[in-house]
A and B are shown apart, each in its own frame.
Chain A
Amino acid sequence: MGAVRTAVVGVGQTRHVSARHDVSIAGLVREAALEALEDAGMDFGDIDAVVVGKAPDTFEGVLMPELYLADALGAVGKPLLRVHTAGSVGGSTAIVAAKLVMAGIHKRVLTVSFEKQSESNATWGLSVSMPFTAPLVAGAGGYFAPLIRAYIARSGAPRHIGHLVAVKDRRAALRNPKAHLHLPDIDLKTVEESFLLWDPLRYLDTCPSSDGAMALVIGAEDVADAAPGPAAWVHGTAMRSEPTMFAGRDQVNPQAGRDCAADVYAQAGITNPREDFDCAEVYVPFSWYEPMWLENLGFCAEGDGWKLTEAGVTAPDGDIPWNPSGGVLSSNPIGASGMIRFGEAAQQVRERAGDYQVPLKTGLALGHAYGGGSQFFSMWVVGNRKPE
Chain B
Amino acid sequence: MTSPPPLIEQHVLEYPGGYTRSVGTAVSRYLTGLRDGVIVGVRIGDGRVMVPPTEYDPETGAALDEYVEVGPAGTVVAWTWVSEPRSGKHHLTKPFAFALVRPDGADVPMVHVVDVAAADEMAVGMRVMPRWASERVGYVTDLDAWVPISDGETPSAAAVNTAEVSGEPVTGITVPIRLEYEINAGRAPSKYLRSLAEHKIIGQRAVDSDKVYVPPRGSDPTTGAPTTIEVEVSDVGTVTTFCVVNLPGLSEFAPEVPFVCAQILLDGSNTPWFGLVQGLPADEVRMGLRVQAVWADVLVPDARSIKWFEPNGEPDAPYDTYREYA
In the assembled complex, the Cα of A71 lies from the Cα of B59 at a distance in Å of: 7
Chain B residue at minimum C-beta to C-beta distance from A248 = B324
In the assembled complex, the Cα of A132 lies from the Cα of B189 at a distance in Å of: 9
Q: A145 — which chain B residues lie within 8 A by C-beta?
A: 243, 261
Q: Which candidate, A18-26, A160-168, A266-274, A303-311, is the interface stretch facing chain B?
A: A18-26
Report yes or no: A201 in contact with B243, Cβ–Cβ below 8 A.
yes
Report yes or no: A21 in contact with B185, Cβ–Cβ below 8 A.
no
Contact of B242 among A19, A120, A132, A146 (CB under 8 A): A146
Chain B residue at minimum C-beta to C-beta distance from A123 = B250
Q: A118 — which chain B residues lie within 8 A by C-beta?
A: 20, 22
Max chain A Cβ within 10 angstroms of own Cβ: one of B175, B220, B261, B287: B261
Chain A residue at minimum C-beta to C-beta distance from B205 = A247
In the assembled complex, the Cα of A277 lies from the Cα of B229 at a distance in Å of: 49
Q: Which candidate, B83-91, B99-107, B116-124, B299-307, is the interface stretch facing chain A?
A: B299-307
**Among residues 45 to 77 in chain B, which have CB atoms less than 8 Å away from a CB atom of chain A?**
54-63
Report yes or no: A44 in contact with B60, Cβ–Cβ below 8 A.
yes
With A61-B177, A199-B244 already in contact, the answer to whether A137 and B251 are too (CB < 8 A) is yes
Q: B193 — which chain A residues lie within 8 A by C-beta?
A: 132
- A138 part of interface (Cβ distance < 8 Å): yes
- B24 part of interface (Cβ distance < 8 Å): yes
In the assembled complex, the Cα of A322 lies from the Cα of B26 at a distance in Å of: 41
Contact of A136 among B240, B247, B251, B324 (CB under 8 A): B251
With A198-B247, A200-B243 already in contact, the answer to whether A71 and B54 are too (CB < 8 A) is yes
Report yes or no: B19 in contact with A119, Cβ–Cβ below 8 A.
yes
Contact of B56 among A26, A61, A200 (CB under 8 A): A26
Report yes or no: B263 in contact with A24, Cβ–Cβ below 8 A.
no
Report yes or no: B183 in contact with A131, Cβ–Cβ below 8 A.
yes
Q: B271 — which chain A residues lie within 8 A by C-beta?
A: 245-247
Report yes or no: B61 in contact with A73, Cβ–Cβ below 8 A.
yes
- A230 part of interface (Cβ distance < 8 Å): no
Tally chain B residues at the interface, Cβ within 8 Å: 76
**Among residues 135 to 181 in chain A, which have CB atoms less than 8 Å away from a CB atom of chain B?**
135-139, 141-142, 145-150, 153-154
Q: Is the interface of A mostly helix, strand, loop or mixed?
A: loop
Chain A residue at minimum C-beta to C-beta distance from B189 = A132
- How far apart are B12's CB and chain A's nearest CB, in angstroms? 10
- How far apart are B324's CB and chain A's nearest CB, in angstroms? 6
With A24-B23, A137-B276, A247-B222 already in contact, the answer to whether A149 and B241 are too (CB < 8 A) is yes
Contact of A71 among B19, B61, B253, B261 (CB under 8 A): B61
Report yes or no: B303 in contact with A21, Cβ–Cβ below 8 A.
no
Report yes or no: B246 in contact with A199, Cβ–Cβ below 8 A.
yes
- B16 part of interface (Cβ distance < 8 Å): yes
In the assembled complex, the Cα of A128 lies from the Cα of B275 at a distance in Å of: 17
Chain A residue at minimum C-beta to C-beta distance from B56 = A72
In the assembled complex, the Cα of A294 lies from the Cα of B213 at a distance in Å of: 31
- How far apart are B273's CB and chain A's nearest CB, in angstroms? 9
Chain A residue at minimum C-beta to C-beta distance from B179 = A63
Report yes or no: A61 in contact with B304, Cβ–Cβ below 8 A.
no
**Among residues 97 to 122 in chain A, which have CB atoms less than 8 Å away from a CB atom of chain B?**
116, 118-121
Contact of B185 among A19, A74, A125, A131 (CB under 8 A): A131
- A362 part of interface (Cβ distance < 8 Å): no
In the assembled complex, the Cα of A141 lies from the Cα of B319 at a distance in Å of: 24
Contact of A147 among B25, B175, B185, B241 (CB under 8 A): B241
Q: A116 — which chain B residues lie within 8 A by C-beta?
A: 22
- A64 part of interface (Cβ distance < 8 Å): no
In the assembled complex, the Cα of A125 lies from the Cα of B58 at a distance in Å of: 31
Report yes or no: A247 in contact with B240, Cβ–Cβ below 8 A.
no
Chain A residue at minimum C-beta to C-beta distance from B186 = A132
Max chain B Cβ within 10 angstroms of own Cβ: one of A124, A125, A145, A146: A146
- B158 part of interface (Cβ distance < 8 Å): no
- B254 part of interface (Cβ distance < 8 Å): yes
In the assembled complex, the Cα of A365 lies from the Cα of B129 at a distance in Å of: 61
With A137-B261, A196-B246 already in contact, the answer to whether A74 and B240 are too (CB < 8 A) is no
Chain B residue at minimum C-beta to C-beta distance from A148 = B243
Report yes or no: A245 in contact with B221, Cβ–Cβ below 8 A.
yes
- B168 part of interface (Cβ distance < 8 Å): no
Report yes or no: B22 in contact with A146, Cβ–Cβ below 8 A.
no
- How far apart are A21's CB and chain B's nearest CB, in angstroms? 5
Chain B residue at minimum C-beta to C-beta distance from A30 = B56
Chain A residue at minimum C-beta to C-beta distance from B250 = A139
Interface string of B293-313 (1 = CB under 8 A from A): 000000001111010000000
Report yes or no: A27 in contact with B25, Cβ–Cβ below 8 A.
yes
Contact of B250 among A44, A45, A137 (CB under 8 A): A137
In the assembled complex, the Cα of A150 lies from the Cα of B221 at a distance in Å of: 23
With A24-B27, A120-B20, A200-B243 already in contact, the answer to whether A129 and B251 are too (CB < 8 A) is yes
Report yes or no: A149 in contact with B253, Cβ–Cβ below 8 A.
no
- B187 part of interface (Cβ distance < 8 Å): no
- B314 part of interface (Cβ distance < 8 Å): no
Report yes or no: B302 in contact with A150, Cβ–Cβ below 8 A.
no
Max chain A Cβ within 10 angstroms of own Cβ: one of B57, B171, B243, B244: B243
Contact of B19 among A26, A74, A120, A252 (CB under 8 A): A120
Q: A125 — which chain B residues lie within 8 A by C-beta?
A: 15
The contact sample of 9 A-B pairs, CB cut-off 8 A, is A20-B22, A23-B25, A60-B21, A72-B61, A137-B261, A142-B261, A150-B240, A197-B246, A199-B246
7 A-B pairs with least C-beta separation: A24-B24, A74-B61, A145-B243, A247-B211, A247-B270, A199-B244, A131-B9
| Apart from the given pairs A22-B24, A24-B21, A146-B242, 18 other A-B contacts in the complex at a CB distance below 8 Å | A61-B177, A71-B57, A119-B20, A127-B250, A130-B11, A132-B9, A132-B302, A137-B245, A142-B245, A146-B241, A150-B287, A197-B246, A198-B247, A245-B221, A246-B222, A246-B271, A247-B213, A247-B270
